[in-house]
Amino acid sequence: MSDFLVLGRDYETARRRLVEELKLQGVIKSRNVEEAMLKVPRDRFVPPHERIYAYEDTPLKVMLDQTISAPHMVAMMCELLELRPGLKILEVGTGTGYHAAVCAEAMYRKGIVYTVEYYPQLALYAVQNLAALRLLDCVKVFIGDGSKGLPQYAPFDRILVTAAAQYEIPKPLLEQLSPNRGIMVIPVEERPSIQILYRVIRNGDTYEKEAITYVAFVRLQQ
């Protein structure tokens, strides 16, 4: 049994213990990501029957066969994005809204996250969760095919994809990434059951692609 299994409702203590563990592991490196992970209550972004597991470092099922990413993956992806105040972010795969909330808090609510969810029911759930934390001023939720991005709001300083693209990075996302050192973090399923997390940095018309680690995400719906 994990040390982070919450008995009773002491979520704050469990959250702090988890963040300390992620710092010791070297996953959390920056002060703003640490503060965001401490501030955003993951227990509010999972179904009631999963809340006792909210601060285990593991993915959790939510609805429609979707998952909320493990805390270490959320922190890792935020660190790779090099978040700071004032950025315009596109997130593909809103889920329950947790990752978008962490991104917003890591920018100290001084930026904007446009997030796209394929499933309307999940998008509504995310809106409810974000509204409860008064985050809808800096997180805007859309329903649709996230692989097409949101061209009406492009370019984006950062693009975060929380579902695995099949075989290649969708071209619209590459096009919508800012040419002024825009950063994208995206998992790609390169062959069946093999997914790799990539960081892509764009400078002008040049894209630098770096493989980070093997991962396991749900597939990107298109």
H or E element, residue 17: helix 11-24
Buried b / exposed e across 167-186, counting CB within 10 Å, b at 16+?
A: eebbebbbebbbeeebbbbb
| Strand, coil or helix: 197 | strand
To the nearest whole number, what is the mean pLDDT of the chain? 94
Residue spans per domain, the chain: 11-215
Mean pLDDT along residues 151-176: 97
Helix 98-106 vs helix 120-132: angle between axes, to the nearest 10 degrees? 40
The CATH-assigned architecture of domain 11-215 is 3-Layer(aba) Sandwich (3.40)
* Active-site option among 30, 69, 147, 193: 69
Q: Is 178 a catalytic residue?
A: no
pLDDT bin (cut points 50, 70, 90) of residue 65 is confident
CA distance 33 to 49: 27
Cβ atoms within 10 Å, residue 2: 12
Q: For residue range 10-61, what is the model confidence (pLDDT) as tens digits?
A: 899 999 999 999 999 999 999 999 999 999 999 999 999 999 999 999 999 9
Q: Find the DSSP H helices in 67-209.
A: 71-81, 98-106, 120-132, 171-176
